[in-house]
Amino acid sequence: MMKAIRISATGGPDVMQWQDISLAEPGPGEVRIRHTAIGLNFIDTYHRSGLYPLSFPSGLGLEAAGVIEAVGEGVTLPVGARVGYCWGPIGAYATHRNIAAAMLVPLPDGVSDEVAAAGLLKGCTTEFLVERCARVQAGDWALVPAAAGGVGLLLVQWLKSVGATVIAVAGSAEKLALAAANGADHGVLDSDDVAGAVRSLTGGRGVDVVFDGVGKASWEPSLDSLKRRGLMVSFGNASGPVSGVDLGILARKGSLFATRPTLFDYYATPDDRATHAGRVLAMMASGALKLAVNQHYALADVARAHEDLAARRTTGSTVLLP
């Protein structure tokens, strides 16, 4: 037996139910993992609310770390190995689960279970956004809305590591100070004229790229912050989805480029996961990529965690403890 969060309908945090579940032995190519820490991410709220459709009944959660307790036929990972994952399948909100061994990456000694669970999805998201989606170069200017959030702080660090100049946007002076402590060169309150501040900082030019995980509320200010032929990377919907877009707006605002990428298309194969997640974990182990786990919740209290995340009462990363 294990315990897990299950939902049978979309809705608010109250739809999440803490249930006893019978777990079968792992099948061929599978392992049984005992979770030691589970990541909390905005995408979890999108699944719960119905923004990203699910089949019911369903689990929740895409990211966790733990220890292998049993293996199925053909698995080469040993019992007792520390492993993590962040690509699904959905169902990480559980004390135990069976999962394909091909979805797992070994955790190095220098990365704790909590850091892996809190940071794999955010770190891998940061990696593909900067390195393989936007392909940021030294000397580029980048704008990061919600820069004090979990992905935001990692984006600031990674962008600085490749030589970009970073403008952070956040909702308070305290959050801007946190972004600055992680390397941001400039800070703008999201209640101010963000585009006007960006134009002032860049001598009227605008930034090369915006990494926008906020969505609806920041869509137009982000577009207005871009240089001619700049790139809008919209990767999240914290304020609601961007919808009903007139593509002509990209022409009117400077022949802009826009993309809506997902982690799953950039980490689609075992080779992708081994190569790029391995790099993220190595950077975490060396201290080149620093992750702050600022909130801990019991998994059974996940409804409160979702409420705090939606209300922007969290900073950095959060873990759920089984």
* Domain limits for position 72: 2-120+267-321
Q: How many domains does the chain have?
A: 2
Is the backbone of residue 206 left (phi > 0), alpha (psi -120 to 50) or beta?
A: left
Q: Are residues 251 and 277 in the same domain?
A: no
Q: Are residues 173 and 95 in the same domain?
A: no
| Residues 235-273 pLDDT 10s | 987 777 777 888 999 999 999 999 999 999 999 998 999
Locate 234 and state its tokens.
């919209």
* Band of pLDDT at residue 150, cut at 50, 70 and 90: confident
Locate 277 and state its tokens.
């997640």
Contacts of 240 (CB under 8 A, 6+ apart): 215, 216, 217
**Residues 306-315: what's their mean pLDDT?**
88
User: What is the CA angle 101-37-64, rounded to 5?
Assistant: 35
Task: Report yes or no: 188 and 168 within 8 Å, Cβ to Cβ.
Answer: yes
* Band of pLDDT at residue 214, cut at 50, 70 and 90: confident
Q: Helices 42-49 and 302-310: crossing angle, nearest 10°?
A: 100
* Band of pLDDT at residue 221, cut at 50, 70 and 90: very high
Indicate the residue among 241, 260, 279 that finishes a domain: 260
In a domain, 292, yes or no: yes
Task: Report yes or no: 29 and 72 within 8 Å, Cβ to Cβ.
Answer: yes
Q: Are residues 52 and 166 in the same domain?
A: no
In a domain, 132, yes or no: no
pTM of the model: 0.87
Locate 269 and state its tokens.
């194969």
Q: Are residues 254 and 142 in the same domain?
A: yes
pLDDT at res. 244: 80
| Residues 33-76 pLDDT 10s | 999 999 998 889 989 999 889 999 999 999 999 999 999 999 99
Q: Are residues 145 and 171 in the same domain?
A: yes
* Band of pLDDT at residue 181, cut at 50, 70 and 90: very high
Locate 263 and state its tokens.
């982690």
pLDDT higher than 80, residue 26: yes
Q: Are residues 177 and 145 in the same domain?
A: yes
Q: Number of helices (H) and strands (E), helices first, in the chain?
A: 11, 15
pLDDT higher than 90, residue 9: yes
